Chains A and B, each alone.
Chain A
């Protein structure tokens, strides 16, 4: 599951990138905002030249001096809120119609200011404050707009932003969580059926196809599912990216619009401010006129004074191109007026304003007769040409005048081309009243009280131009000013056509004349730049999405292929395993099936050979018999191999005498060896304990196999030498006491004369060094010993190129080997495996032409001191007889002498060695009381022997005993040796290979001459089972009878029952049966079941006895019950055998009974009794 970490890593990367981007964008945005706000605030302060306190003072001045408007501005610091910035504005407007609304709005503003918004302090920054305060200086409409609109807007927007951020984060975490959960589910789903399936594979090869299909569809489905999820993920990623882009872009646009709005409003306000300031100045001028012209008699002002004054105070009204004062003259007083001033009231020429520069008022026509006139009496120098012109005669001016005196406020005209300057301009008119006009005067009263009009002309373009020059970022923004009094026809007062008309902001302007409406249109000069800040992160997300998608896709494809491969392999593995099992089963079955008829063949051949056959026929029959035997042994080997391969072979752990086993092997193979003239020698180190625990049969099998091979490949000369040592002996080369081993280690390669037969052999030392576990001092288990067995031969050797494969089954050194020497080449492979089962190793060294030496190690248990196995009694007796005797071995080869002395030592005879007869002569005098002298055939020398004989027999005449002379001979020299014996030179000839039984026989014959040994009773079945109570369970009457008969013949007391149930009843403890033979296949309750039940029963009883519930005496002789149950079966196959053991049986005998089989089976149980 390598994809899992990858998966998580990717998710982690993705989420990290997203989070970083989010933070970045957020940080950037907030910075921008504060920056822009601060900037705005700075601009305001700088260019408007007003501070809060200034404005405050101005307002209070107004409210004090003029009574036109009154503001009450309170500043409050509200604790716990945003400190001193809390402002409550209560606005009392004089205009009744607005009053309620305004105060309502004001309250709303206050309420909004008090919203405790700890998270977003930038909401309430100085710019807002200054907005609100600067607006407070103007009309309530503006205040409302500037305070409320941007604030509300901003608030909402910020809130939205915040919401989006947290929402986004939440969504992302949800997404990750979702993916994880999905992944878990997927893993779980795809895993479980596979596990299940794997289990099934082993148990039910038949069902596996179905399961496989199932799992295939499963994995395919899982793959599809994953693909879908990937697709979903990619879609989600793409949509996230698109959404992000859209969101950021929208934000940018919004901000731009906001900036535009802010700038526009700011410009509008500044314009308004300037205009209003100048309006106030005009107002002041009007008051001046009313004070000094009308309030004093005679007037303190004349045209000259006025012109001068106005000219000098023109800096206060930078926007006015000129001011003039017209007097209200009713028609009745026209003549008097004209007389007073010396000029006639002239009519304003509106038609030919193009010529306004050089117009001379004198040229004007006198004003037509009207109700009243408003002739200009004073004028600024710049507009001195309009003195004496009747303002009522101009359409615009007349209307203006009428409105001005009615409202008592400054009134504006619609824009028109100014005289002279030819710019668009507006004229502001103030009415000058009698001083005694009450504050709450009606319109009529005002009209009545009017005494004159003060007019000022404003040059709009220059005004706006001047203003905009003072403001920042004039490059980026284009401004138009419109008069919108007439809704249908906008009059453009200022502006250009450049800029992007698509997004423009309209701010209303208020120049203090409620009947006139003005608007300011602002727009950016440049189009919206490409929104890189939106494109880059979203583009990144897109790229990441695709990258991750690609990686995932690759991973998924890979997973799919790997899974598919895995599936295939599992299939193949299952198939291979099934095939292997089938092979093993087939082998076992076939081997078994072949064995049965082969036995027939062999039997028949044996019969055939017993009949009268001529030589040729006999030869054929013998060959056939031999081949059949080979076949049987091969089949046994194949069975072994199959068993080992399927792991069914288990080693026994029984104590056995290793020396005895080796004796057996040598006696078994001595025939063959003698035939070939090969000397066979066995040597076991003194340190090897008498009894070891292990599988004697398998040990014997290995030895037999190796020795058999050696015999097979050794041609008519030389020797085969089996030696057994403790592995520990070899480990410490310096302290070796064993003579044989010492010799081996001392020499790199055994030299001629230093081997058993004198022929050179390969030293085993080299193969030992290859053993991995040999020299390692791992876990020195005190109750385990490691044996090192070496089989040395002087055979043809193994070709170097074939040495690597000789442990492979059915591989011989080369294909000609089997033709020359026969055999299948399976033996070594089996031996190696058996050795491995014994936790040992097997190795060899071989040199072609010299010979091979096979070595193996094996771990055996040490037998407990008192658990001696039944050594053959007669040997025990013999050993008693020979104990303490002395012998002299005369042999020129050291090793051979050691071997001989080893065998003698086993009998308790102490041994001295002499290398020749001559040497013996010299040493024999020192050795008193010799019981025997063993002379190797090779050193036999009649002359020297005569000397020795003389020496021994002659010198010891007095002693009771004369040493016996024994000749050690091989079968090859048997004839001459026999002659020597008959000639009386020697007492006995011992035929090698030496082994205990042979030696005992010979020695007994020579030493205990004449003393006839009592013929020992044959240990037969009769003795074993005589008087034993045996239960036979078989449903078949005939079988029962036969079994009964067979057992009775050996003296057993037999009881028969015919069913498992009956057996159960009989074997319920306490009972007197010593053993039970149980048929397996019985109706109702078969042998297995019956055995199981009997064992259950016994277990229960044993438990009771153990716990003391029931006294052991009550159940007679045993402390624990376990009656030996032997299965009787017609087909002795392995499976049945195992089944027998499993259900608690102790062994089995094949039906029908044969004495031998019965003996071996029963011997185990009755031997100890």
Chain B
């Protein structure tokens, strides 16, 4: 049993580190985790949920704004959404999404339609990937907790 927990913990640690190393997450996620304590046990999950909801909404917005069939492309609308998304992603430490948002924003300011569309697709893929990865991580956490273990603090530095 203990060995199982240890293994899970090990797995969790490795997985988390890999997320950092692959650039999905950054320090801000660590900070976020620090904020989670007994007072708000599901803080991270809650924030992430909000973030992903935000993502769905904003990406939807941008997709509509970039839809040529409706007529003109509203770059300012896209820009506003990208900015929002960038803010959110930097708050939760979704590093890759944030990086994409930066590029996206530049395209948007340059009114580069092709670039925008490409970025939008990438952002879509990226946030979904992140979501999956984080879900995996939470699952691992849950398993550890269910197994009666303690979720280890992963020190990235």
Among the 9-residue stretches A224-232, A946-954, A1041-1049, the one with 4 or more Cβ atoms under 8 Å from chain B is: A1041-1049
Selecting from B7-15, B46-54, B59-67, B138-146, the interface stretch reads: B46-54
- Is A1041 within 8 A of B37, CB to CB? no
B22 to chain A, nearest CB (A): 14
Select from chain B the residue with minimum beta-carbon distance to A610: B157
Query: In the bound complex, how far is the Cα of B49 from the Cα of A1042, in angstroms?
Result: 12
Q: Which of A603, A1039, A1046, A1049 has the most CB of B within 10 A?
A: A1039
Chain B's nearest CB lies how many Å from the CB of A441?
Answer: 134
Q: Annotate B18-61 by CB proximity to A: 1 below 8 A, 0 otherwise.
A: 00000000011001101111011001001100110110000000
B16 within 8 A of A: no
- In the bound complex, CA of A1152 to CA of B93 (Å): 9
A1130 at the interface (CB under 8 A from B): yes
Give chain A residues whose Cβ lies under 8 Å from the Cβ of B123: none
Task: Compute how far the CA of A603 lies from the CA of B40 in the bound complex, rounded to whole angstroms.
Answer: 29
- In the bound complex, residues from chain B placing their C-beta under 8 Å from that of A607 are 156-157
Whether the Cβ atoms of B43 and A1152 lie closer than 8 Å is: no
A1042-B35 contact, Cβ under 8 Å, with A606-B157, A1048-B40, A1130-B90: yes
B131 at interface, CB cutoff 8 A? no
Which residue of chain B is the closest to A1034 with respect to CB atoms?
B87
A438 contacts partner chain B, Cβ-Cβ < 8 Å: no
Q: Indicate if the CB atoms of B91 and A1036 lie closer than 8 Å.
A: yes
A1038 within 8 A of partner (CB):
yes
In the complex, whether A1081 has a CB less than 8 A from a CB of chain B is: yes
Contact A1036 B35 (CB under 8 A): no
Interface presence of B83 (CB below 8 A): yes
Contact in complex: A1042, B32 (CB < 8 Å): yes
Asked if B119 lies at the interface with its beta carbon under 8 angstroms from chain A, I say no
Whether the Cβ atoms of A1036 and B87 lie closer than 8 Å is yes
A-B contact count (CB 8 A): 68
Complex Cα distance A1083/B61, Å?
15
A1049: which of B28, B35, B46, B88 is its contact (CB, 8 Å)? B35
Q: For A1041, what are the chain B residues with a Cβ–Cβ distance below 8 Å?
A: 46-47, 50
* A1045 x B88 contact (CB < 8 A): no
B84 at interface by CB-CB < 8 Å: yes
Give the chain A neighbours of B83 by CB distance below 8 A: 1081
Chain B positions 67-93 with a Cβ under 8 Å from a chain A Cβ: 80, 83-84, 86-88, 90-93
With A606-B157, A1154-B31 already in contact, the answer to whether A1038 and B91 are too (CB < 8 A) is yes
**1/0 contact string of A1067-1095 vs chain B (CB within 8 Å):** 00000000000000101000000000000
Give the chain A neighbours of B47 by CB distance below 8 A. 1038, 1041-1042, 1045
Chain A residues, CB < 8 A from B84: 1035-1036
Which of chain B's residues 91-107 have a Cβ closer than 8 Å to chain A?
A: 91-93
- In the complex, which residues 547-595 of chain A have their Cβ closer than 8 Å to any Cβ of chain B? none
B2 to chain A, nearest CB (A): 26
A1037 at the interface (CB under 8 A from B): yes
Among candidates A1037, A1039, A1045, A1151, residue contacting B35 with C-beta atoms closer than 8 Å = A1045
Q: Write out the residue numbers on chain B whose beta carbons fall within 8 Å of the beta carbon of A1152.
A: 28, 31-32, 90-91, 93
- For the complex, give the distance between the alpha carbons of A323 and B31 in Å: 160
| Contact B50–A1038 (Cβ < 8 Å) | yes
Q: How far is the CA of A677 from the CA of B157 in the complex (A)?
A: 33
Given contacts A607-B156, A1045-B35, A1083-B80, contact A1036 B40 (CB under 8 A): no
The CA-CA distance from A1036 to B83 in the complex, in Å, is 10
- Report the interface size for chain A: residues with CB under 8 A from the other chain: 23
* CA gap between A1046 and B93 in the complex, in Å: 14
Interface string of A1117-1129 (1 = CB under 8 A from B): 0000000000000
| Closest Cβ–Cβ distance, residue B157 to chain A (whole Å) | 6
A774 within 8 A of B: no
Complex Cα distance A1130/B51, Å? 17
A1153:B31 contact, CB within 8 angstroms: yes
A610 contacts across to B, CB distance below 8 A: 157
Cβ distance A573 to chain B, nearest Cβ, rounded Å: 34
For B55, the closest partner residue in chain A by CB is A1038
Closest to B47 in A: A1041
**A248→B37 CA distance, assembly (Å):** 116
Q: How far is the CA of A1155 from the CA of B31 in the complex (A)?
A: 9
Nearest-CB residue, chain B, relative to A609: B157
Interface size, B (range)? 20 to 34
Contact (A1049, B39) CB under 8 Å given A1041-B50, A1042-B32: yes
CA distance A1042 to B50 in the complex (A): 10
Minimum CB–CB distance from A920 to chain B (whole Å) comes to: 51
- Nearest-Cβ distance from residue B155 to partner chain A, whole angstroms: 8
> Shortest distance in angstroms between B55's beta carbon and chain A's nearest beta carbon?
9
The complex places the Cα of A1036 from the Cα of B58 at a distance, in Å, of 11
Whether A1151 pairs with B50 at a CB distance below 8 angstroms is no
Note all chain B residues with C-beta closer than 8 A to A1083.
80
Contacts of A1153 in B (CB 8 A): 31
Distance from A1035 Cβ to chain B, minimum over Cβ atoms (Å): 7
A1042 to B40, CA, bound (A): 12
- Using Cβ atoms and an 8 Å threshold, which residues of chain B touch A1036? 54, 84, 87-88, 91
Tell me the complex Cα distance, A607–B92, Å.
21
Complex-state Cα separation, A448 to B46, whole angstroms: 169
Give chain A interface residues in 109-136, CB to chain B under 8 Å.
none
In the complex, residue of chain A having the shortest beta-carbon distance to the beta carbon of B80: A1083
Interface string of B89-133 (1 = CB under 8 A from A): 011110000000000000000000000000000000000000000
Q: How far is the CA of A935 from the CA of B54 in the complex (A)?
A: 69
- What is the minimal beta-carbon distance from B136 to any residue of chain A, in angstroms? 21
Q: Contact: B157 with A1151, CB < 8 Å?
A: no
Smallest beta-carbon distance A642→chain B, Å = 25
Q: Are A1037 and B93 in contact (CB under 8 A)?
A: no
A1049 proximity list for chain B (CB < 8 A): 34-35, 37, 39-40
Asked whether A1038 and B43 contact (CB < 8 A) given A1046-B35, A1081-B83, A1151-B87, the answer is no
B139, chain A: closest CB distance, angstroms: 22
Pairwise interchain contact B35-A1038, C-beta atoms closer than 8 A: no
> A1038: which of B27, B39, B51, B156 is its contact (CB, 8 Å)?
B51
How distant is the Cα of A84 from the Cα of B112 in the complex, in angstroms?
113
List, in ascending order, chain B residues with CB within 8 A of A1045's CB.
Answer: 32, 35-36, 40, 43, 47
Complex Cα distance, B20 from A603, in Å, reads 13
Q: Which of A606, A1046, A1152 has the largest number of chain B CB atoms within 10 A?
A: A1152
Q: Which residues of chain B are near A1038, meaning CB under 8 Å?
A: 47, 50-51, 54, 87-88, 91-92
Chain A CB within 10 Å, residue with most, of B31, B37, B40: B31
User: What's the Cα separation between A610 and B155 when bound, in Å?
Assistant: 10
- Give the Cβ gap from B101 to chain A, nearest Cβ, in Å: 11
Give bound CA distance, A277 to B43, whole Å. 153
A contact residues around B51 at 8 Å (CB):
1038
Q: How far is the CA of A1036 from the CA of B37 in the complex (A)?
A: 23
Whether the Cβ atoms of B50 and A1037 lie closer than 8 Å is yes
Q: How far is the CB of A948 from chain B (nearest CB, A)?
A: 51
Which residue of chain B has its CB nearest to the CB of A1046?
Answer: B35
Q: A1031-1070 interface mask toward B, CB cutoff 8 Å, 1 = contact, 0 = none?
A: 0000111110110011011000000000000000000000
Q: Which residue of A lies closest to B86 (CB)?
A: A1130
- Give complex CA distance A603, B80 in Å: 31
Residues A1039 and B87 in contact, CB atoms below 8 Å apart: yes
In the complex, which residues of chain B have a beta carbon less than 8 angstroms from the beta carbon of A1130?
86-87, 90
Q: Specify which chain B residues have a CB less than 8 angstroms from the CB of A1042 in the assembled complex.
A: 32, 35, 47, 91-92
A1038 vs B87: C-alpha distance in the bound complex, in angstroms?
A: 8
Residues of A within 8 A of B157 (CB): 603, 606-607, 610
7 shortest A-B CB distances, which residue pairs? A1038-B88, A1042-B91, A1045-B35, A1036-B87, A1039-B91, A1038-B51, A1152-B28
- Listed A/B pairs (12) with beta-carbon separation below 8 Å: A1036-B84, A1038-B87, A1038-B88, A1039-B88, A1041-B46, A1041-B47, A1041-B50, A1042-B47, A1045-B32, A1046-B35, A1049-B40, A1152-B32
Q: Which residues of A pack against B, CB within 8 Å?
A: 603, 606-607, 610, 1035-1039, 1041-1042, 1045-1046, 1048-1049, 1081, 1083, 1130, 1151-1155
Apart from the given pairs A1038-B87, A1045-B36, A1081-B87, 9 other A-B contacts in the complex at a CB distance below 8 Å: A1036-B84, A1038-B50, A1039-B87, A1045-B32, A1045-B35, A1045-B47, A1046-B35, A1152-B32, A1153-B31
